[in-house]
Amino acid sequence: MRLSVVICNYNTRDMLTRSLGSLQQTLGDLTHEIIVVDNASKDGSAAMVRASFPGVKLIEPGANRWFTGGNNLGMRAAQGDYVWILNPDTVIHPHAAQTMVAYLDTHPNAGAVTSRMVFQDSRLQRNCSRLATYLDLLLGYTFLGMLLRPWRHPRRRVMWYVEWDRESDRAVEVAPGSNLLVRRAILDQIGHFDEKLKLYFPEDDLCYRIRATGCDVVYVAGATITHDEHASTSQVQRLATHVYFNDLITFTRKYYGRARAWLLATLIIPTRTVMLIAQSLKKRR
């Protein structure tokens, strides 16, 4: 089997329906399987999959395993040569899967690929970045970013490849976890997502480990998918904010040590507090 598609779903039934439909229409003669892990959705997502897509393998852990835990269940069940991690809020354009698979077939040093991604109105998403340095984290998430603005903007331009128009293939440091096609042999070698990172930064960590094997992570401009960004997390914004900052500190501890993680955790308290207050006020309106 060439391809295993893994989708972790949480309360996005209508988007999942659309995504699965686009996969059925575009995968063509690629031998494949589609695996949906439903994280205890309350909106009938699992029933929809059973009724409308009986050929899809449905995994129901019975609890919310978050992005990383859910995807890991799907990846462990995958049998394909390549594993395509997709969000349920994606729509696959014609030939996207074939183009990405062909790239891995013809570039043995590529361990994983992503593709061109657009919003629903066809605007380009500027996905892919460099791995954040500790300075990037300080400038991006604390008041130091305001005090050191002349440093922050140039760093952000470098981190997000601002000079690159996303219309050409290139190796990148971090590709989005919403659309990541990985060789299963690489996953067998390095493992799957780090479940200590529940929702944020797992792709940063996984891409780092892929590159540590000597393989590239590559953006393939010839394939396109539509992505309705933040569809799942928008439903539980306040909880997602808590998870975001917790994952940020977990990521920092893993890559930059306990002392730097402690310092960042202290410095982000004002940022975290303001965001939570703003969300509470918005919810009351």
CB atoms within 10 A of CB 38: 28
Kindly state the tokens that stand for 274: 């303001």
Least confident of 144-153, 229-238, 259-268: 229-238
pLDDT tens, 14-55? 999 999 999 999 999 999 999 999 999 999 999 999 999 999
**How much is the pLDDT for 18?**
98
Encoded amino acid at 153, one letter: H
Task: State yes or no: pLDDT of 134 exceeds 90.
Answer: yes
- Average predicted confidence (pLDDT) for the chain: 93
**How much is the pLDDT for 148?**
80
* pLDDT (average), residues 123-148: 92
For the domain spanning 1-128+166-229, the CATH number is: 3.90.550.10
**How much is the pLDDT for 276?**
65
Q: How far apart are CA 233 and CA 65, in angstroms?
A: 14
Task: State yes or no: pLDDT of 235 exceeds 60.
Answer: no
The DSSP code for 41 is -
* CA–centroid distance for 58 within its chain: 20
Whether 19 and 88 have beta carbons less than 8 Å apart is answered as yes
Q: Which long-range contacts (CB under 8 A, 24 or more apart) does 77-81 make?
A: 77/35, 78/4, 78/6, 78/33, 78/35, 78/184, 79/1, 79/4, 79/33, 80/1, 80/2, 80/3, 80/4, 80/31, 80/32, 80/33, 80/184, 81/1, 81/2, 81/3, 81/183, 81/184, 81/185
- Domain ranges within the chain, ordered by starting residue: 1-128+166-229
pLDDT tier for residue 224 given thresholds of 50, 70 and 90: very high
**How much is the pLDDT for 120?**
93
**How much is the pLDDT for 279?**
61
Task: State yes or no: pLDDT of 284 exceeds 80.
Answer: no
* CA–centroid distance for 22 within its chain: 19
Least confident of 73-87, 145-159, 164-178, 197-211: 145-159
